[in-house]
């Protein structure tokens, strides 16, 4: 079975991450799923921003949780990112016709905006939402996420297989909390490292999918098979290098998070 191609922060190789333009392009590029990070603004809105601060990815400065939605909405989140790749070699490797992002697609992206895009997409697309921790609001992030998903009828799928949303976090507490709130919503436990006790591929009962960084699979490729033997699927991030894509395909990684859905899909198709 081919891996499910998940656009990491949107088609972020070609568009500024976490912008509507990046996600719209990912859908055009044939991504099966979209990955996003969420944080709470000071006034309690879930916004799609990776870093604790907005400094790297916008025209503003400051900590997301100290800014109100109106402050964040006034920032340009697209201008920092060059739409051309770093070198002409990349253009040859990835000959993608990429129209310029419209200014309206470069502003702040809320989770609600992203869910709107998914609901209106011409084909089913799965959302992989990562809650960032530690944050000053703690568990309020998961509570708010669930309430937002519920408004779109996505919080209580008929079964885990039917779910169009997976919740993810590096925080075990956050994943466990989400499982308690919504037991049928599938969860991914992200990991930068795996404790010796869990190298057998096992997961705690509140997590459904294991989420290692690709560096962990390079060091221990058999981990995917050990997890599969326990009925645990693997979500691997962030897989852009052709050798890593080939490795994940060979190992049977189920979900592959990539910054360039078009290049990854092309390589997977052979
Ligand atoms: O998809 C998981 C991956 O996004 C985790 O790392 O830092 O890019 O959020 P990060
Ligand atoms: Ca992420």
Q: Does ligand 1 have an atom closer than 6 angstroms to the CB of 244?
A: no
Work out the pLDDT band at 98, boundaries 50, 70, 90. Answer: low
In-domain check, residue 208: yes
User: Which member of 14, 45, 50, 215 is catalytic?
Assistant: 50
For the cut 70, the answer to whether the pLDDT of residue 101 exceeds it is no
Going by alpha carbons, the residue nearest to atom 5 of ligand 1 is 237
Give yes or no for a contact between 43 and 69, defined as CB atoms under 8 angstroms apart.
Answer: yes
- Distances in Å between the Cα of 139 and the Cα atoms of 55, 144, 178, 261 are 25, 9, 9, 32
Q: How far is the CA of 8 from the centre of ligand 1 (A)?
A: 8
Q: What percent of the chain has pLDDT over 90?
A: 87
Q: How far is the CA of 132 from the centre of ligand 2 (A)?
A: 8
Q: Does ligand 1 have an atom closer than 6 angstroms to the CB of 37?
A: yes
Q: Taking the CA atoms of the chain, what radius of gyration do you get in angstroms?
A: 18
For the cut 90, the answer to whether the pLDDT of residue 19 exceeds it is yes
Q: How far is the CA of 190 from the centre of ligand 2 (A)?
A: 9
For the cut 90, the answer to whether the pLDDT of residue 82 exceeds it is no
In-domain check, residue 68: no
Q: What percent of the chain has pLDDT over 70?
A: 92
In-domain check, residue 167: yes
In-domain check, residue 59: no
Give yes or no for a contact between 128 and 35, defined as CB atoms under 8 angstroms apart.
Answer: yes
DSSP 3-state assignment of 263? helix
Pocket mutation for ligand 1, best pick of 127, 167, 190 (most atoms within 8 Å of C-beta): 190
Parent domain of 188: 4-51+108-269
In-domain check, residue 158: yes
In-domain check, residue 87: no
pTM of the predicted model as reported, rounded to 2 decimal places:
0.94
Q: Average the pLDDT over 24-51 and give the result.
A: 97
In-domain check, residue 112: yes
Q: What is the mean pLDDT of the chain?
A: 94
- Is 215 labeled as catalytic in the residue annotation? no
Going by alpha carbons, the residue nearest to atom 3 of ligand 1 is 237
- Is 179 labeled as catalytic in the residue annotation? no
| Per-residue pLDDT, 79 | 86
> In this structure, what CATH number is given to the domain that contains residue 127?
3.20.20.190
Find residue 6's DSSP bridge partners.
Answer: 33, 257
Q: Which ligand approaches the C-alpha of residue 36 most closely?
A: 2
Q: How far is the CA of 135 from the centre of ligand 2 (A)?
A: 15
For the cut 70, the answer to whether the pLDDT of residue 229 exceeds it is yes
Counting the structural domains of the chain, the total is 1
Q: Average the pLDDT over 79-95 and give the result.
A: 66
Q: Which ligand approaches the C-alpha of residue 188 most closely?
A: 1
- Cβ neighbors of 215 (< 8 A, separation 6 or more) are none
């Amino acid at each position: 079975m081919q891996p499910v191609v998940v656009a990491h922060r949107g088609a972020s190789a070609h568009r500024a991450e976490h912008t509507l333009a990046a996600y719209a392009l990912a859908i055009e590029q044939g991504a099966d799923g979209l990955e996003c990070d969420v944080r709470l603004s000071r006034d309690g809105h879930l916004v799609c921003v990776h870093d604790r601060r907005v400094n790297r990815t916008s025209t503003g400065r400051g900590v997301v949780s100290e800014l109100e939605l109106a402050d964040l909405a006034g920032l340009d989140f697209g201008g920092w990112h060059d739409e051309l790749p770093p070198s002409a070699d990349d253009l040859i490797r990835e000959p993608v016709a990429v129209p310029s992002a419209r200014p309206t697609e470069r502003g702040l992206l809320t989770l609600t905006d992203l869910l709107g895009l998914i609901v209106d997409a011409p084909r089913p697309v799965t959302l992989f939402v990562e809650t960032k921790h530690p944050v000053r609001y703690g568990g309020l992030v998961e509570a708010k996420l669930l309430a937002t998903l519920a408004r779109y009828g996505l919080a209580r799928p008929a079964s885990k297989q039917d779910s169009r949303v997976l919740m993810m976090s590096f925080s075990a507490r956050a994943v466990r909390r989400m499982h308690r709130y919504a037991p049928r919503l599938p969860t991914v436990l992200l990991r930068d490292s795996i404790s010796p006790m869990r190298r057998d591929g096992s997961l705690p009962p509140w997590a459904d999918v294991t989420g290692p960084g690709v560096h962990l699979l390079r060091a221990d490729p058999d981990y995917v098979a050990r997890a599969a033997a326990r009925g645990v699927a693997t979500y691997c991030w962030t897989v852009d290098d052709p050798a890593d894509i080939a490795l994940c395909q060979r190992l049977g990684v189920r979900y592959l998070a990539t910054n360039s859905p078009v290049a990854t899909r092309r390589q997977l198709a052979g």
